Amino acid sequence: MSEVTPIPLSELTTLRVGAAPDRMVDARTRDELVDALREVWAAGDEPWFVLGGGSNLLPGDEPFPGTVIRILTSGFEEVPGARDGFVRIRVEAGQNWDELVAWSVSQGLSGIEAMSGIPGTVGAAPIQNVGAYGQEIVQTLVEVELIDEETGDVSTVPASELGLGPRTSVLKQHYGSVPQRSAVVLSLTLELARVGHEPRPVADARLRAALALGPEAEVSVAWIRETVLSIRAGKGMVLNDADHDTHSAGSFFNNPIVTDAVASTLPAECPRWPMTPAVDAVSVIPLDQWDGSVPPPSAAPTLVKVSAAWLIENSGLPKGFGLPRSRATLSTKHTLALTNRGGASAGEIAQLARFVQSRVAAEFGIVLMPEPVLIGVEL
Ligand SMILES: Cc1cc2nc3c(=O)[nH]c(=O)nc-3n(C[C@H](O)[C@H](O)[C@H](O)COP(=O)(O)OP(=O)(O)OC[C@H]3O[C@@H](n4cnc5c(N)ncnc54)[C@H](O)[C@@H]3O)c2cc1C
C-alpha cells in the first residue's frame, strides 16, 4: 500500500471530471487493499471510497474530503468446484473486465462474451450487476470475497446474498442513499461454460435479437464478442480517446421501472419490457391441506421497464443536445449517455442531467434516476 500524490479524478474517470481528493492510496495487491481499508476505517469517520476504472462515477468539482483507494490488483486463476462442463475462475477485484472477457473467449468459455467492451474492473461488476445484450453478471457469478466496513472481516459471500437486480446490488450507493452493505469486493468467482470455438445456437432471445440472429442461427463465442464490440463502438459505448461520445459514464439514466398503470399512460411507441409475469404464479395446495377457500388475487402490480433513451428523445431532446455555452452534451450517437465534449466540469454534467430529468418529468411524469455513483454532486 502506498500513499500517492492525489491525482485529479478528471484523469481517472471516463466522464473526465472531478478534482483531486484530499488523500489517495494505491493498493496493488489484495493484502495492500485490505490494509488500506482497515487503516482508513480505524481512523473513524474519515470519508472514503474505492476507485476501479472510474467508468461509473460522477465525482464533484470540489476535492473529496477523505481518502480514495485505487484498486490496482489484477490476475485470475482456475479454482476447483465447477459443475461438469463448466470452469470456475477466481478473479482479483482490480482486474480489467474486458481483458477477462477477451481471455474467456480465447479459451472457448461462454457466459460473459455478450458483455464485451464494458469498461472498468471486475470487482465493480457486481456493484451494479453489470449487463448488456441479455447477459448479466448475476448469471455466472458464484461468490465474492468481501471485506465489511463494520467488522473489518473478510468473508466469502454467495452471489444470492448480494441482492443483484437491474443495475443494482446491496453494495451499490444509489443517488441519495448509502449502500445497504458497506463492503469492498476483494475478488470474485465466476462459473463459465466450456463450449469451445465451434458455432452453436444462441439460447437467449434478447441476445439473438440484439445480434439480429434467427432462432436457427449458430455462431461462435468469438463471433459474439466481435459483433458486440462493433455494435457498441457504433453507439460510442467502447472507450475511445478520440471519440468524445465515449467520454461518458455509459448510460447515465436507468431505464425506469414503473407500474403497468403508469406505463399505460405512455405512447404505444415507447419500448417497454415486462418485469413481472402478467399472471399470478400458480401455487398448488395438496388436496388434503385445502380448506376449500379460494385465495384472494395478488395485489402486487405488474411492473414494466421502459426505455429511458426513448423518453429523453421524445421529450424534445435530440442526440447531441447541449445547453447554451455548456461543454456537456448528450452523445451524438444515443441520448442516454451524457458526454464531456472537452473540459466540462462536473457541474456542467449535473446541469445537463437535471435539465433532462425536468424535461422527461414534465412530458411523461417520470423521474429518471442516475445510474452512475454520484460523489459530491447533487442533481
Ligand atoms: C462507454 C461506457 C459503456 C458502459 N457500458 C455499460 C454496460 O453495457 N453495462 C453496464 O452495466 N455498465 C456499463 N458501463 C458502466 C461501467 O462501465 C460499469 O458499471 C463498470 O462495472 C464500472 O467499473 P469501474 O471499475 O469503472 O467502477 P468505478 O467507476 O471505479 O466505481 C463505480 C462504483 O463502484 C464502487 N466500486 C468499484 N470497485 C469496487 C470494489 N472492488 N468493491 C466495492 N465497490 C467498488 C466505487 O466505489 C463506485 O461507487 C459503461 C460505462 C462506459 C463509460
CATH of the domain at 248: 3.90.78.10
- Residue 34 in any domain: the answer is yes
CA distance 356 to 338: 10
In this structure, is the dihedral angle defined by the CA atoms of residues 72, 78, 82 and 88, taken in order, positive or negative?
positive
Closest listed residue to residue 114, CA positions, set 224, 6, 24:
224
Residues 161 and 99 in one domain: yes
Closest listed residue to residue 171, CA positions, set 131, 124, 139:
124
Closest listed residue to residue 294, CA positions, set 302, 303, 285:
285
- Kindly state the average pLDDT of the residues 339-352: 98
* pLDDT for 281: 55
Residues 80 and 227 in one domain: yes
Q: Which residue has the cell 478473479?
A: 91
Residues 216 and 89 in one domain: yes
Q: Which residue among the candidates 32, 145, 313, 371 is catalytic per the annotation?
A: 371
Q: How confident is the model at residue 287 (pLDDT cuts 50, 70, 90)?
A: confident
**Residue 278 pLDDT > 70:** no
CATH number at 104 reads: 3.30.465.10
- Residue 289 in any domain: the answer is no
Tell which of 20, 52, 71 closes a domain. Answer: 71
Quote the mean pLDDT of the chain: 94
Residue 14 main-chain phi, psi, to 5 deg: -75, -20
- Residue 321 in any domain: the answer is yes
Residues 187 and 310 in one domain: no
Residue 157 main-chain phi, psi, to 5 deg: -120, 125
Residues 213 and 91 in one domain: yes
CA distance 82 to 117: 26
* pLDDT for 76: 98
290 vs 376 pLDDT, higher one: 376
Count Cα atoms within 13 angstroms, Cβ side, for 365: 9
Residues 229 and 245 in one domain: no
**Residue 365 pLDDT > 60:** yes
- Residue 219 in any domain: the answer is yes
Q: Which residue has the cell 468459455?
A: 109
- Kindly state the average pLDDT of the residues 8-19: 98
What is the 261 CA–ligand 1 centroid distance (Å)? Answer: 33
Kindly report, residue by residue over 73-121, the tens digit of the pLDDT. Answer: 999 999 999 999 999 999 999 999 999 999 999 999 999 999 999 999 9
Which DSSP string do the residues of 122-134 spell out, in sequence order? Answer: TTTTTTTT-EETT
Residues 343 and 379 in one domain: yes
3-class DSSP assignment, residue 22: coil
* pLDDT for 117: 98
**Residue 296 pLDDT > 70:** no
* pLDDT for 138: 97
Kindly report, residue by residue over 124-144, the tens digit of the pLDDT. Answer: 999 999 999 999 999 999 999
* pLDDT for 283: 66
CA distance readout (Å), 131 to 118, 128, 139, 352: 9, 9, 10, 25
Q: How many domains does the chain have?
A: 3
Residues 250 and 209 in one domain: no
3-class DSSP assignment, residue 146: strand
Helix (H) or strand (E) holding 32: helix 30-42
- Residue 86 in any domain: the answer is yes
Residue 320 is classified by DSSP as T
Residues 200 and 251 in one domain: no
The pick from 118, 181, 243 for probing ligand 1's pocket by mutation, whose C-beta has the most ligand atoms within 8 angstroms, reads 118
299 vs 349 pLDDT, higher one: 349
- Cβ–ligand 1 distance for 255 under 6 Å, the answer no
Residue 246 is classified by DSSP as G
CA distance 146 to 141: 14
CA distance readout (Å), 357 to 108, 164, 337, 365: 43, 26, 13, 10
* pLDDT for 288: 80
Q: Which of 278-289 are b and which e, b meaning 16 or more Cβ less than 10 Å from the residue's Cβ? A: eeeeeeeeeeee
Residues 226 and 260 in one domain: no
Tell which of 71, 99, 119 closes a domain. Answer: 71
**Residue 207 pLDDT > 80:** yes
The DSSP bridge pattern shows strands 200-201 and 218-219 to be antiparallel
* pLDDT for 1: 65
* pLDDT for 297: 62
C-alpha cell at 196: 469451445
CATH number at 33 reads: 3.30.43.10
C-alpha cell at 320: 447531441
* pLDDT for 206: 87
What is the 199 CA–ligand 1 centroid distance (Å)? Answer: 31
3-class DSSP assignment, residue 349: helix
What is the 334 CA–ligand 1 centroid distance (Å)? Answer: 19
Pick the residue whose CA is nearest to atom 6 on ligand 1. 118
- Residue 295 in any domain: the answer is no
Kindly report, residue by residue over 263-275, the tens digit of the pLDDT. Answer: 999 999 999 998 8
CA distance 279 to 316: 36
Tell which of 45, 71, 97 closes a domain. Answer: 71
Q: How confident is the model at residue 45 (pLDDT cuts 50, 70, 90)?
A: confident
* pLDDT for 299: 65
- Cβ–ligand 1 distance for 338 under 6 Å, the answer no
- Cβ–ligand 1 distance for 239 under 6 Å, the answer yes
Residues 368 and 246 in one domain: yes
CA distance readout (Å), 176 to 173, 347, 366, 371: 8, 17, 18, 12
> Exposed/middle/buried for 58, CB within 10 Å: 0-12, 13-18, 19+?
buried
- Residue 284 in any domain: the answer is no
Q: Which atom of ligand 1 is nearest to the CA of 55?
A: 26
* pLDDT for 291: 79
Distance of CA 282 to the CA centre of its chain: 33
Domain residues for the domain of 54 are 2-71
Kindly report, residue by residue over 209-265, the tens digit of the pLDDT. Answer: 999 999 999 999 999 999 999 999 999 999 999 999 999 999 999 999 999 999 999
- Cβ–ligand 1 distance for 249 under 6 Å, the answer yes
Residues 87 and 225 in one domain: yes
- Kindly state the average pLDDT of the residues 24-38: 97
Q: Which atom of ligand 1 is nearest to the CA of 375?
A: 49
- Residue 294 in any domain: the answer is no
Percent helix, percent strand, percent coil in the chain, to nearest 5: 25, 25, 50
